[in-house]
Chain A
């Protein structure tokens, strides 16, 4: 019963969002919300490897980009609909994660971060120099044979669905055996091994899953932008923003990236509308630094604690205990 009451608010909110296009709000507003959905999808899926498992990946945008290019190619050469093409897009992103994850997940800490960063640069260079993929000219996709208003709404609804799905996946992972295994890897990988956990196997599974979701989203996004260029879809700034959003909200739980993505998207939008971009950047950066310093576990954890909901106290190791 309590469960039902608790889920009424989010469910009705999702319905409200779903009905929004019918009210025909300004195109600008709809596209802003669409972008928020995109960041929720990216931050939630990143969190599976970055937050739950503790492997700070800066390569997440690459999986998104691979998805974009896969479905674009499938559409151009086989006329495959974006909504079908999204599935092979996700699969190819996962395959890429499997291939690069195998060697890279052996690296820890900053080494893993740097290698995943390089992965984005490499794939960006490859695509720019590969004429089959449009090279540095990019690809123009034919517009879908339907009314622009209608197609925008369809994209909007699809991304709403994907955003909800990625939040639910993260929530599910967090509360299962899989999630607890990942958390133990984040805390201490060697201890995890003494607890019978095949850590390499679990990490690669998390990485593959975390790459599948942006792959699918990219597959659909290709038609949304219709002009595809490596500078747009392999933009390292997107990778960085994803990491910031997830950590801003808090990487330990499914709620963190959701809150971080929504909040930072809104703040970013406001700042860029009302303040000159240079100042906007400074405020944005300062805010992030403040959160990292004063709320290292993210704002979600901070406010839960602040409101006294959090039963468990904040982790603190006294220097005396550390000695032992």
Chain B
């Protein structure tokens, strides 16, 4: 479904992503892990059109999307969330979602869009907050809104950037259940960045690990977690014993 080949992104002298190949298959949940500053968010920015790669090609369902603008990529059916949540603060929770429904699904009527948005809020458990200004939500709800708003455009692929960060254990479990339901009930493919190792092991079918912008592992969760290069990346060379 989503495929990147030989992607390189350089900031000034810093190589953020280096000759990276990756693939996300339809209906899968794929994880992207790596230490701080390893280029994960940069990769999402490349996929969603906010950055352009120096080299390489990204395609979605066979169409090349490398040089498209963010709104065009969104219209292709790729939705994203932001690591640092970005609610449309002065709008209500409902209208945050309705905006995506209006423009992403081609709905013209605002009432109809709001009613569809309410269904989505019910799905993600934010219904009771529908009239709250988004800027007033607490973190867990902001993350939920970030996901709900992304669902508003009815995407085929959802890019989640650290939706578990800052949540407590109970909230993480709820978030994992939500991700499973998004795939199962809406048929949406998921590509997610995560730091919380235990959570991502539980949620994903496959995990890609990067370190300094280079792919160091790619496979089933337990395999990736035990790969020497991944342990090395997270703990430093000295800790690799055998």
Which residues of A pack against B, CB within 8 Å?
175-177, 180-181, 183-184, 186-188, 190-199, 252, 311-317, 321, 324
- Nearest residue (CB) in A for B109 is A177
Q: How many residues of B contact A (CB 8 A)?
A: 45
Question: Which residues of chain B from 172 to 186 have a CB within 8 Å of any chain A CB?
Answer: none
Question: Which residues of chain B from 120 to 155 have a CB within 8 Å of any chain A CB?
Answer: 131-133, 135-136, 138-139, 142, 149-150, 152-153
Q: What 11 additional pairs, Cβ within 8 angstroms, besides A183-B90, A195-B99, A321-B142?
A: A177-B103, A183-B91, A186-B90, A188-B86, A193-B74, A194-B80, A195-B103, A196-B104, A197-B103, A315-B136, A324-B165
List 26 interface pairs A-B (beta carbons < 8 Å), by A numbering: A175-B110, A176-B110, A177-B110, A177-B113, A180-B91, A180-B95, A180-B99, A180-B110, A187-B89, A190-B86, A191-B149, A193-B70, A194-B74, A194-B79, A194-B153, A195-B74, A195-B152, A199-B71, A252-B90, A312-B132, A312-B133, A313-B132, A315-B89, A315-B136, A317-B136, A321-B142
* A191, B100: Cα distance in complex, Å: 10
CB pair B150–A180 under 8 Å, yes or no, is no
Residues of B within 8 A of A317 (CB): 89, 135-136
**Given A183-B90, A187-B89, A324-B84, are A195 and B136 neighbors across the interface (CB < 8 Å)?**
no
CB pair A197–B71 under 8 Å, yes or no, is yes
Residues of A within 8 A of B74 (CB): 193-196
Residues of B within 8 A of A316 (CB): 135-136
B92 within 8 A of A: yes
Residues of A within 8 A of B91 (CB): 180, 183-184, 187
**Given A175-B110, A181-B102, A315-B90, are A194 and B70 neighbors across the interface (CB < 8 Å)?**
yes
CB distance from A110 to the nearest CB of B (A): 20
Residues of A within 8 A of B102 (CB): 177, 180-181
**Given A177-B102, A197-B99, are A183 and B88 neighbors across the interface (CB < 8 Å)?**
yes
- Nearest residue (CB) in A for B84 is A324
**Given A177-B110, A180-B110, A197-B71, are A191 and B86 neighbors across the interface (CB < 8 Å)?**
yes
CB distance from B141 to the nearest CB of A (A): 10
B67 within 8 A of A: no
CB distance from A295 to the nearest CB of B (A): 15
B207 within 8 A of A: no
* A183, B69: Cα distance in complex, Å: 20
Which residues of B pack against A, CB within 8 Å?
48-50, 69-71, 74-75, 79-80, 82, 84-86, 88-92, 95, 98-100, 102-104, 107-110, 113, 131-133, 135-136, 138-139, 142, 149-150, 152-153, 165-166
* A188, B100: Cα distance in complex, Å: 13
* A42, B184: Cα distance in complex, Å: 52
Residues of A within 8 A of B149 (CB): 191, 195
Residues of A within 8 A of B152 (CB): 195
Residues of A within 8 A of B142 (CB): 321, 324
CB pair A312–B131 under 8 Å, yes or no, is yes
Complex partner residue of A180 from B75, B98, B153, CB under 8 angstroms: B98
Residues of A within 8 A of B86 (CB): 188, 190-191
* A141, B86: Cα distance in complex, Å: 54
Residues of B within 8 A of A194 (CB): 48, 70-71, 74, 79-80, 150, 153
Central interface residue in A192, A196, A199, A324, by most chain B CB within 10 Å: A196
* A308, B100: Cα distance in complex, Å: 30
CB distance from B103 to the nearest CB of A (A): 4
* A315, B80: Cα distance in complex, Å: 24
**Given A190-B50, A313-B132, are A321 and B139 neighbors across the interface (CB < 8 Å)?**
yes
- Nearest residue (CB) in B for A195 is B100
* A321, B71: Cα distance in complex, Å: 28
* A57, B138: Cα distance in complex, Å: 34
